[in-house]
């Protein structure tokens, strides 16, 4: 059921009986969900997917989008991460780039309620240590208080901002009279105009025109119980109009509706929107619009249910969005245009939705919706499709992992076919070697990934130096979110030079590997209609340089020796930019790159089991010296919103263990088999290699 203006669900004054708007409804819905969230939080945290890389992409977070900029590129709202101090975090979302907005100094929570047309100015409120809301604006990431010393208001909220960012409106609790009063803020000056509407009555401003000169809101005897309640339109020049004639609308008078609330006004200042009700219950709320010129009222209707409320309106008043009861008794987001109210539907697994903002041209609608399992996710509605904004951003991690995938394919060869220097295979006593090798790897802890690599090569010995070259082909498949997948195929070229040092046992090797890859991605994401896929194809390349030192052999007992080794490798991966096709929300990705740097320390033990068989055990520690890198950026083709996804930070330290068998099939033919297992990190969980070598 829609929460009404007289439902008292919050203990502190900031949330008591506010007019229902796009900004106040989330707070009331939050209160109902906190108990459920508290009960399920520990489970949610434990089940969070490892590819959740930004706050609003974390499945343990609820995300409310409260408004969108006029250009449709910047959404604002708040996300909840936990319960207690700091659990409400204001943010703005520029395309897919999540930017946290800090509370005022000394405060722990904040909520963003509205944003200017170009997204440069965000307004809302910060919550102080006494649990009082304080109106703020953000021109960057740090909040600025509108009433820094609480000179005029004990508590306050900024609810709307003009298109040009020059006028902020809201309401505050008068510090002397303890009556809610409306204000506007311009050029650093806070003006209380509450008394100019209906002297002695409370008021709350909730909307403002593009030029900042026309303000709308609600005036009441009080906001704590049944009372007179009517919308108002206030001209900054001093003229006010009471929008009280709900009975003039037949659909309203038939229901005995008497009271009005105004929530927003069009950019041109000509069309105000809100709801009318009996004042005693929210169950009979009816959305309406009021055209200033001609003082014309028009009911917007419902979605077949008993109630509706209009939350936001575009620049020329032609597109109105809000929430209404449908024929199934559910709370559903709607858009009203050309005289028709249309339901926007729900997210997958959800049963409620609410549209809270619309772009100036009416093409982009935002809001929040039930995403199932007690979660609330922000959505964007465009191209006649509701997109789960939270999950869409998480899905970007798939294409964002291509640089890591290129590096991982390189690791498969370096840890398989080339996990030992070429010189360590010279026991057959010949100068020329050829080989064919197959490598296989799989990972399932971070993501389901399967890799394979095939290689042929040859080497030549020159005294104490071995020179080898090889060519190979590789493939990797990886499962992505929501039925998506990525497949990488390509070829490699490798050159290696080994030199035995003066002790005749130590080996220094230099390896250079070049890979050229083709990557195909099918990125899955959730919409109101179900799971959707957008496909893309791009090229990437990898270049690896590795230096390795194998120390002298130390003998322990008969047929048993051990030798230390150390290596350092640098891998540069470049991914070309590409554009997806298909699906309702394809993306265009910019080129990206990353340089991985790793060092390894290990111990190789060898046991001669017989004349033809040698067993080896390896244990090594891997350390990554690089950080997350630049990440991924691009544009949502449908909304034209730019996004930036932070790079995934590598696991810094990882242990890896291996078992190796050399078996001579003949004096000149060697069969090598190895299997390795690794701890949590970039290396494959399990990898194996099979190689056949021939000496001439």
Instruction: Indicate the pLDDT class of residue 40, thresholds 50, 70 and 90.
Output: very low
pLDDT at 481: 85
The predicted-structure confidence for 431-459, as pLDDT tens digits, reads as follows: 899 999 999 999 887 668 899 999 999 99
Q: What is the mean pLDDT of residues 625-637?
A: 86
Q: Using DSSP, state whether 545 is helix, strand or coil.
A: strand
The predicted-structure confidence for 335-353, as pLDDT tens digits, reads as follows: 999 999 999 999 988 899 9
Residue 151 has pLDDT above 60, yes or no: yes
pLDDT at 226: 57
Task: Categorise residue 106: left if φ over 0, alpha if ψ from -120 to 50, beta otherwise.
Answer: left
Higher per-residue pLDDT: 38 or 585: 585
Give pTM, 2 decimals: 0.76
pLDDT at 474: 95
Instruction: Indicate the pLDDT class of residue 44, thresholds 50, 70 and 90.
Output: very low
pLDDT at 21: 39
pLDDT at 175: 85
Residue 607 has pLDDT above 50, yes or no: yes
Instruction: Indicate the pLDDT class of residue 196, thresholds 50, 70 and 90.
Output: confident
Residue 483 has pLDDT above 50, yes or no: yes
Report which secondary-structure segment, H or E, holds 269. Answer: none
Contacts of 658 (CB under 8 A, 6+ apart): 419, 616, 617, 618, 619, 674, 675, 676, 677
pLDDT at 246: 64
Q: In angstroms, rounded to a whole number, what is the distance separating the alpha carbons of residues 587 and 580? A: 6
Q: Which residue is listed with tokens 């803020």? A: 185
* Spatial CA neighbour of 287 closest among 352, 328, 329, 333: 333
Residue 248 has pLDDT above 70, yes or no: no
Instruction: Indicate the pLDDT class of residue 2, thresholds 50, 70 and 90.
Output: very low
Cα dist from 463 to 389, 426, 433, 548, whole Å: 63, 12, 14, 20
Q: In angstroms, rounded to a whole number, what is the distance separating the alpha carbons of residues 241 and 687? A: 75
Residue 290 has pLDDT above 80, yes or no: yes
pLDDT at 266: 97
pLDDT at 199: 77
The predicted-structure confidence for 299-326, as pLDDT tens digits, reads as follows: 999 999 989 999 999 999 999 999 999 9
Q: Which residues pair with 327 in a beta bridge?
A: none
């Amino acid at each position: 059921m829609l929460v009404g203006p007289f439902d008292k669900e919050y203990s502190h004054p900031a949330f008591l009986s506010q007019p229902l708007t796009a900004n106040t409804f989330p707070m009331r819905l939050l209160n109902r969900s906190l108990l459920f969230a508290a009960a399920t939080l520990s489970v949610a945290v434990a089940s969070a997917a490892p590819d959740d890389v930004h706050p609003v992409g974390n499945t343990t977070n609820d995300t409310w989008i409260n408004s969108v900029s006029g250009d449709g590129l910047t959404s604002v709202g708040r996300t909840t991460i936990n319960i207690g101090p700091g659990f409400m975090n204001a943010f703005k979302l520029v395309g897919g780039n999540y930017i946290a907005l800090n509370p005022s100094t000394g405060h722990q929570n904040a909520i963003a309620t509205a944003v200017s047309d170009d997204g440069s100015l965000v307004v809302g409120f910060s919550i102080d240590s006494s649990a009082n809301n304080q109106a703020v604006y953000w021109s960057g990431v740090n909040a600025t208080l509108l009433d820094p010393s609480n000179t005029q208001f004990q508590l306050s909220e900024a609810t709307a901002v003009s298109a040009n960012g020059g006028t902020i409106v809201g309401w505050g609790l008068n510090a002397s009279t303890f009556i809610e009063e409306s204000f506007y803020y311009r050029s650093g000056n806070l003006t209380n105009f509450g008394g100019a509407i209906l002297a002695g009555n409370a008021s709350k401003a909730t909307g403002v025109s593009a030029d900042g000169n026309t303000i709308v809101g609600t005036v009441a005897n009080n906001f704590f119980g049944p009372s007179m309640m009517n919308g108002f339109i206030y001209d900054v020049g001093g003229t006010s109009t009471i929008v009280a004639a709900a009975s003039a609308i037949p659909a309203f008078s038939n229901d005995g509706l008497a009271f009005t609330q105004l929530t927003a006004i069009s950019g041109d200042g000509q069309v105000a929107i809100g709801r009318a009700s009996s004042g005693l219950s929210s169950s009979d709320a009816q959305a309406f619009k009021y055209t200033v010129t001609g003082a014309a009222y028009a009911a917007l209707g419902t979605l077949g249910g008993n109630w509706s409320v209009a939350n936001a309106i575009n620049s020329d008043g032609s597109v109105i969005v809000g929430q209404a009861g449908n024929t199934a008794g559910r709370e559903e987001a709607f858009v009203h245009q050309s005289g028709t109210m249309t339901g926007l539907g729900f997210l997958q697994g959800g049963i409620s939705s609410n549209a809270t903002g619309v772009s100036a041209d009416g093409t982009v609608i935002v809001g929040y919706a039930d995403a199932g399992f007690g979660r609330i996710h922000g959505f964007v509605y465009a191209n006649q499709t509701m997109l789960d904004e939270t999950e869409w951003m998480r899905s970007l991690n798939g294409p964002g992992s291509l640089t890591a995938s290129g590096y991982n394919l390189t690791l498969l060869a370096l840890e398989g076919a080339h996990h030992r220097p070429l010189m360590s295979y010279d026991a057959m006593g010949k100068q020329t070697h050829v080989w064919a090798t197959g490598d296989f790897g799989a990972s399932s802890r971070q993501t389901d990934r399967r890799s394979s690599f095939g290689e042929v090569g040859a080497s030549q010995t020159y005294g104490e130096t071995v020179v080898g070259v090889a060519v190979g082909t590789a493939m990797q498949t990886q499962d992505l979110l929501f039925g998506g997948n990525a497949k990488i195929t390509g070829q490699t070229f490798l050159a290696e030079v080994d030199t035995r040092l003066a002790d005749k046992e130590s080996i220094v090797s230099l390896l250079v590997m070049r890979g050229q890859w083709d990557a195909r991605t099918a990125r899955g994401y959730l919409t109101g209609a179900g799971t959707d896929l957008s496909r893309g194809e791009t090229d990437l390349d990898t270049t690896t340089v590795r230096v390795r030192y194998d120390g002298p052999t130390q003998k322990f007992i008969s047929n048993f020796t051990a030798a230390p080794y150390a290596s350092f490798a640098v891998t540069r991966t470049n991914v070309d930019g590409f554009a997806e096709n298909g699906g309702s929300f394809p993306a265009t990705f910019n080129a990206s790159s990353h340089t991985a740097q790793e060092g390894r320390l290990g111990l190789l033990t060898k046991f001669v089991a017989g004349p033809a068989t040698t067993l080896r055990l390896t244990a090594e520690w891997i350390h990554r010296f690089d950080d997350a890198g630049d990440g991924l950026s691009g544009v949502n083709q449908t909304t034209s919103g730019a996004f930036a996804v932070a790079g995934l930070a590598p696991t810094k330290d990882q242990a890896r263990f291996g078992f190796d068998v050399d078996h001579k099939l003949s004096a000149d033919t060697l069969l090598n088999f190895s299997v390795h297992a690794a701890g949590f990190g970039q290396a494959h969980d399990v990898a194996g290699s099979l190689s056949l070598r021939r000496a001439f």
